[in-house]
């Protein structure tokens, strides 16, 4: 990509898309094509055709998708399958037809087999059964990865795909019905802290609030045993930019930190960061999901990229930016 290249970031208002826009701007790229879903519904084949004919972008980052956590995935499997297939079919096919020089497709680490050996290598894709709770999403994403490969093989395109681990950062989704685990924990602990602070009367040691009450309880789903890996979305954007500039190939590249943490330890970390002093209770009747998910990141390390933002530093940064900026605590 040259700084004058015309670059379409599909899904630029989302967590990943907005991080890509920040990264590209910080590198001096200003010829960016951006459309919200209200302006361009990527499930609409005709609209996408007309958009590509009119704009003719040189490069495409495909970060538009229907995304969600366990609850959303198990409640809306038809929508996850249909919308994601439509979005990626339209954008990938039209990128080929209009001669896009390179495309990067955002897949996800949750499309690997449920019981894949750990850490997960790129070659483990399609070697076992999927996690039932997000099967529809995974099937759609696997089709996207395979579509990039097929267009490279048959048409000589340069379409790459990446497998990011769980992400967090600015513009994350904090709706408890549809969010992922880390933003959900941040919101639950933050709100529990605020509730505790507001329960007692005036004459307290916290401006605008009262003294802390230790009787609050935060209920979390599952056993807390599963282990997960988390990457700040700014690190992901750096990795995508790096791969767009340097990588060509049919192997979908893992992007992560190579380090995992149990949900229990993550909860303790976030509890400390938010300053919540009450208790945590684990609701074992709720599903845990995949027992462990850690990516093998040796391929991307060998390609010259490593993450820079540590988990505690990243969560502190997000907590300050998303929850404390308006002085809500």
Ligand X SMILES: NC(=O)c1ccc[n+]([C@@H]2O[C@H](COP(=O)([O-])OP(=O)(O)OC[C@H]3O[C@@H](n4cnc5c(N)ncnc54)[C@H](OP(=O)(O)O)[C@@H]3O)[C@@H](O)[C@H]2O)c1
6 annotated as ligand-binding: no
For ligand X, the binding residues in 146-165 under the rule CB under 6 A are: 164
For residue 323, the minimal CB distance to ligand X (Å) is 18
Asked whether residue 16 is marked as a ligand-binding residue, the answer is yes
Binding flag, residue 95, ligand X (CB under 6 A): no
DSSP string, 108-134: -GGGS-TT--SSBPGGGTTSSPPPGGG
Please tell me whether residue 63 binds ligand X under the rule CB under 6 A: yes
232 is in an annotated binding site: no
Which residue's beta carbon is nearest to the bound ligand X? Answer: 14
Residue 65 binding ligand X, by CB under 6 A: yes
Residue with tokens 């685990």: 181
Structure tokens of 71? Answer: 């609850």
Site size for ligand X (CB under 6 A): 25
CB atoms within 10 A of CB 277: 15
Is 137 a residue of the active site?
Answer: yes
Tokens of 130: 């999927």
256 part of the interface to ligand X, by CB under 6 A: no
Least distance in angstroms from the C-beta of 108 to ligand X? 4
Beta-carbon contacts of 295 under 8 Å, excluding residues fewer than 6 positions away, are: 109, 119, 120, 163, 165, 229, 254, 255, 256, 258
Residue with token string 């579509």: 147
36 binds ligand X (CB under 6 A): yes
Q: CB under 8 Å to 140, separation ≥6 — which residues?
A: 80, 81, 84, 85, 88
CA distances from 100 to 58, 59, 256 (A): 5, 6, 27
Peptide bond into 206 cis (omega under 30): no
- The residue among 4 and 45 lying less far from ligand X, judged by its C-beta, is 45
> One of 59, 112, 137, 168 is an active-site residue; which one?
137
Question: Which residue in the set 31, 37, 250, 262 belongs to the binding site for ligand X (CB under 6 A)?
Answer: 37
Is residue 15 a contact residue for ligand X (CB under 6 A)? Answer: yes
Q: Report the nearest approach of ligand X to the CB of residue 218 (Å).
A: 22
The verdict on 16 binding ligand X (CB under 6 A) reads yes
Q: Is 129 exposed, middle or buried (CB count within 10 Å of its CB: 0-12, 13-18, 19+)?
A: exposed
Distance CA 84, CA 148 (A): 14
Binding status of residue 13 toward ligand X by CB under 6 A: yes
Token pair for residue 74?
């198990």
Interface residue with ligand X, options 34, 41, 170, 272 (CB under 6 A): 41
The verdict on 106 binding ligand X (CB under 6 A) reads: yes
Q: What are the φ and ψ backbone dihedral angles of 59, each rounded to 5 degrees?
A: -135, 150
Closest C-alpha to 274, from 204, 205, 208, 197: 197
Q: Of residues 42, 70, 92, 244, which one binds ligand X by CB under 6 A?
A: 42
37 annotated as belonging to a binding site for a ligand = no
Residue 242 CB, nearest approach to ligand X (Å): 16
210 is in an annotated binding site: no
**108 lies in the binding site for ligand X (CB under 6 A):** yes
Q: Which is nearer to ligand X, 57 or 164 (CB)?
A: 164
Reduced to 3 states (helix: H, G, I; strand: E, B; else coil), residue 95 is: helix
Exactly one of 7, 20, 87, 299 binds ligand X (CB under 6 A); that residue is: 87
Contact 241, 300 (CB under 8 A): no
User: Is the separation of the CB atoms in 160 and 148 below 8 Å?
Assistant: yes
**Residues annotated as catalytic (active site), given as ranges:** 137
| Residue numbers belonging to the annotated binding site for NADP(+) | 11-17, 106-109, 141, 164-167, 180
| Residue numbers belonging to the annotated binding site | 11-17, 106-109, 141, 164-167, 180, 188, 221, 228, 288
Residues that bind ligand X (CB under 6 A): 11, 13-17, 36-37, 41-43, 63-67, 83, 87, 106, 108, 164, 166-167, 173, 180
């Amino acid at each position: 990509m040259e700084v004058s290249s015309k670059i379409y970031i599909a899904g630029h208002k989302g967590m990943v898309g907005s991080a890509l826009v920040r990264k590209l701007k910080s590198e001096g790229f200003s010829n960016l094509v951006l459309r919200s879903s209200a302006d361009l519904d990527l499930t609409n084949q005709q609209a996408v055709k007309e958009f590509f004919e009119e704009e003719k972008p040189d490069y495409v980052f495909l970060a538009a998708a229907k995304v969600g956590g366990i609850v959303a995935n198990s409640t809306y499997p038809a929508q996850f399958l249909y919308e994601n297939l439509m979005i990626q079919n339209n954008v990938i096919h039209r990128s080929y037809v209009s001669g896009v020089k390179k495309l990067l497709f955002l897949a996800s680490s949750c499309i690997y087999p449920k019981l894949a050996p750990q850490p997960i290598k790129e070659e483990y894709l399609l070697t076992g059964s999927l996690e039932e709770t997000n099967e529809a999403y995974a099937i759609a994403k696997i089709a996207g990865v395979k579509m990039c490969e097929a267009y490279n093989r048959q048409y000589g395109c340069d379409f790459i795909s990446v497998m990011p681990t769980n992400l967090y950062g600015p513009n994350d989704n904090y709706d408890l019905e549809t969010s992922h685990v880390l933003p959900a924990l941040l919101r639950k602990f933050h709100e529990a802290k605020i509730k505790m602070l507001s329960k007692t009367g005036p004459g307290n040691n916290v401006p605008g609030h009262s003294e802390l009450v230790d009787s609050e309880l935060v209920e979390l789903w599952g056993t807390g045993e599963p282990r997960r890996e988390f990457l700040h979305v700014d690190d992901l954007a750096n990795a995508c930019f790096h791969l767009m500039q340097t990588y060509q190939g049919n192997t979908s590249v893992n992007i992560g930190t190579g380090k995992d943490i149990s949900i229990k330890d993550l909860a303790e970390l976030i509890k400390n960061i938010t300053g919540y002093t009450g208790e945590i209770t684990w609701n074992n009747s709720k599903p845990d999901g995949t027992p462990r998910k850690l990516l093998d990141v040796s391929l991307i390390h060998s390609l010259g990229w490593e993450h820079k933002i540590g988990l505690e530093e990243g969560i502190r940064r997000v907590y300050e930016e998303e929850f404390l900026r308006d002085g809500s605590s």
